[in-house]
Amino acid sequence: DAGITQSPRYKITETGRQVTLMCHQTWSHSYMFWYRQDLGHGLRLIYYSAAADITDKGEVPDGYVVSRSKTENFPLTLESATRSQTSVYFCASSESQGANEQYFGPGTRLTVT
Amino acid sequence: GENVEQHPSTLSVQEGDSAVIKCTYSDSASNYFPWYKQELGKRPQLIIDIRSNVGEKKDQRIAVTLNKTAKHFSLHITETQPEDSAVYFCAASPGGRVQGAQKLVFGQGTRLTINP
């Protein structure tokens, strides 16, 4: 599990500010994912990436931007944070070759005031 | 797209009894169904998974059954212990070698409490 890390672990920001959540994995997994977890909604996919420079929208992409210039990093940016984006954010990664176990990072708890 | 419904949202059982959590999915093309356990304040972790070519899979006290015709799958935990208390999530994935095949759609979660 130490192979996938997230930073920061906790973040408080103000409405309208830009904030970037970082995700780093050391397994050279092709796929990486960003989820948000809210009470009553389970885990919802924001964006995912199949490889460096290949990203696609998930279920709830509005208000978020991602990039993947290197295989090991997958940052998530909230361009103008809103209170509705207060949530716990999990990054995950998995190997290629079809559906496989996703390994989750420790999560980032983001509060937008 | 895929939609996964999970029931019940909360479940309380006596230690030693069995617990069953059920999920239904909508996309008949889905062929990978994992279950994740999330302890309080921790990350989700895979506990068992099943692929569509198998009807049942067991791992010690945990088993998963899949009914592709009815599009539902279930998690069974026998001889429950206090450390089984957690939130459990089911998920479904289209699998295969298609764009987005790695995506998972999660159910809403079940909070399982084991009473001593």
HSE of B60, CA atoms in CB hemisphere, 13 A:
4
Contact residues on chain B for A93, CB-CB shorter than 8 A = none
Q: What is the mean pLDDT of chain A?
A: 93
Q: Residue A43: its pLDDT value, please?
A: 95
Q: What is the mean pLDDT of chain B?
A: 92
Helix (H, G, I), strand (E, B) or coil at B104: coil
In this complex, how many residue pairs, one in chain A and one in chain B, have their CB atoms less than 8 Å apart? 67
Whether residue A35 is predicted with pLDDT greater than 70 in this model: the reply is yes
Helix (H, G, I), strand (E, B) or coil at A17: coil
- Distance from first CA to last CA of chain B, Å, rounded? 41
Whether residue B95 is predicted with pLDDT greater than 80 in this model: the reply is no
Hey, which residues does B51 pair with through a beta bridge? B32
Query: Is residue B44 within 8 Å of B89, Cβ to Cβ?
Result: yes
Search chain A and give the residue with CA nearest B30: A99
Search chain A and give the residue with CA nearest B94: A99
**CA diameter of chain A:** 41
Ramachandran region, residue A3 (left: φ > 0; alpha: ψ -120 to 50; beta: rest): alpha
* Inter-chain touch B93–A31, beta carbons under 8 Å: no
* Residue A8: cis peptide before it, omega within 30 degrees of 0: yes
When pLDDT is averaged across residues A81-104 and rounded to a whole number, the result is 89
Among the residue ranges A3-7, A10-14, A89-93, B102-106, the one predicted with the least confidence is B102-106
* Residues A95-107: tens digit of each pLDDT: 876 667 899 999 9
* Residues B27-56: tens digit of each pLDDT: 998 889 999 999 999 999 999 999 888 899
Residue B15 DSSP one-character state: T
* Residue B8: cis peptide before it, omega within 30 degrees of 0: yes
Give the distance from residue B15's alpha carbon to the nearest chain A alpha carbon, in angstroms: 26
Among the residue ranges A17-26, A71-80, B52-61, B90-99, the one predicted with the least confidence is B90-99
Distance CA(B88)–CA(B90), nearest Å, equals 7
Distance CA(A12)–CA(A109), nearest Å, equals 8
HSE of B75, CA atoms in CB hemisphere, 13 A:
29
Query: Is residue A46 within 8 Å of A110, Cβ to Cβ?
Result: no
Contact residues on chain A for B106, CB-CB shorter than 8 A = 35, 42-44
- Of the candidates B1, B43, B96, the beta carbon closest to that of A104 is on B43
Q: Hey, is the C-beta of A106 within 8 angstroms of any chain B C-beta?
A: yes
Q: Residue A40: its pLDDT value, please?
A: 78
